[in-house]
Amino acid sequence: MKKIKSIPKFDRPREKMEQKGVKALSNLELLAVLLGSGIKGKDVFEVAKEILKLAHNDFNNLSLESLKYIDGVGLAKACQIMAAIEFSKRFLIKDGIKVKNVDDVMRLTEELRDKKQEYFLSLTLDGASNLIQKRTVFIGTLNHSIVHPREVFADAIGDRAAGIIFVHNHPSGDPTPSKQDIEITKRLVEVGKIVGIEVIDHVITSRNGYFSFQAEGMLK
């Protein structure tokens, strides 16, 4: 692999982007631009190559934890990479997507099925059922102290959403709601009524299927 110092200045990633546009860059070069530099004894392209290998192997599970321990990345650069990925995702998934049923919800959150931790997501919708935003509200075991309605609905209010759908996964593979799931759902529905944002559904997903509170008539 060429060292960046051995590449003619006009063909280095930043200069190449300026002269030819971002589409002219390879995946490796895009990562090199994000990283900015390597470390002593390790060129930026060498660091980028390790990140690219990780992305090819398991892109959906890229995280700060998996990135920051790559020699030459660290927390600051890992944050830059994850922020760039999340920024692009937010613009890519919300353009013209309608969420009309639980199948649409499953397509938007398919990455949750094989997660080894619990993820709690929200999908905010406008009055025409268009997706406004998909957000990870928190990661971890579902409980009252973590799923606080004030925080859950704050972003939805900022989105001027008409409705909201909650989705979380059960790593066990069993999508059957627990007593805690049912209690939290009731609480969220009540708060939604107060703030004027309809809780359209709460879906529990797993590798063995899903459970829809709306389909089971449990959102009253």
Domain CATH code at residue 162: 3.40.140.10
The reply to whether 220 falls in a domain is no
pLDDT at 2 over 90: no
pTM of the model: 0.61
Based on the fold, state whether residues 37 and 62 are members of the same structural domain.
Answer: yes
The reply to whether 36 falls in a domain is yes
Over residues 164-173, the mean pLDDT reads: 94
**Confidence bin at 142 (pLDDT 50/70/90):** low
Of the three residues 62, 93, 124, the one that is the final residue of a domain is 93
DSSP H or E segment with residue 83: helix 74-94
- The whole-angstrom separation of Cα 190 and Cα 198 is 9
- Amino acid making up residue 3: K
- Amino acid making up residue 106: M
Based on the fold, state whether residues 67 and 109 are members of the same structural domain.
Answer: no
The DSSP secondary structure of 147-178, one letter per residue, reads S-HHHHHHHHHHTT-SEEEEEEE-TTS--PPP
The reply to whether 217 falls in a domain is no
| Per-residue confidence (pLDDT) for residue 218, from 0 to 100 | 93
Enter the DSSP assignment of 162.
S
| Per-residue confidence (pLDDT) for residue 4, from 0 to 100 | 47
Helices (H) and strands (E) in the chain, counts: 8, 5
| Per-residue confidence (pLDDT) for residue 95, from 0 to 100 | 58
The reply to whether 219 falls in a domain is no
Contact 118, 136 (CB under 8 A): no
Q: Pick from 54, 44, 41: which is nearest to 77 by CA?
A: 44
- The whole-angstrom separation of Cα 131 and Cα 97 is 6
Based on the fold, state whether residues 9 and 87 are members of the same structural domain.
Answer: yes
**Residue 83 CB burial class (10 angstroms; 0-12, 13-18, ≥19):** exposed
Based on the fold, state whether residues 87 and 117 are members of the same structural domain.
Answer: no
**Confidence bin at 10 (pLDDT 50/70/90):** very low
Over residues 3-26, the mean pLDDT reads: 68
Based on the fold, state whether residues 140 and 59 are members of the same structural domain.
Answer: no
In this structure, the chain runs to a length of: 220
pLDDT at 153 over 70: yes
| Per-residue confidence (pLDDT) for residue 9, from 0 to 100 | 47
Over residues 95-119, the mean pLDDT reads: 88
Based on the fold, state whether residues 116 and 205 are members of the same structural domain.
Answer: yes
Q: Report CA-CA distances (Å) from 89 to 92, 130, 135, 206.
A: 5, 16, 10, 22
Based on the fold, state whether residues 41 and 68 are members of the same structural domain.
Answer: yes
Of the three residues 40, 74, 93, the one that is the final residue of a domain is 93
Range of 16's domain? 4-93
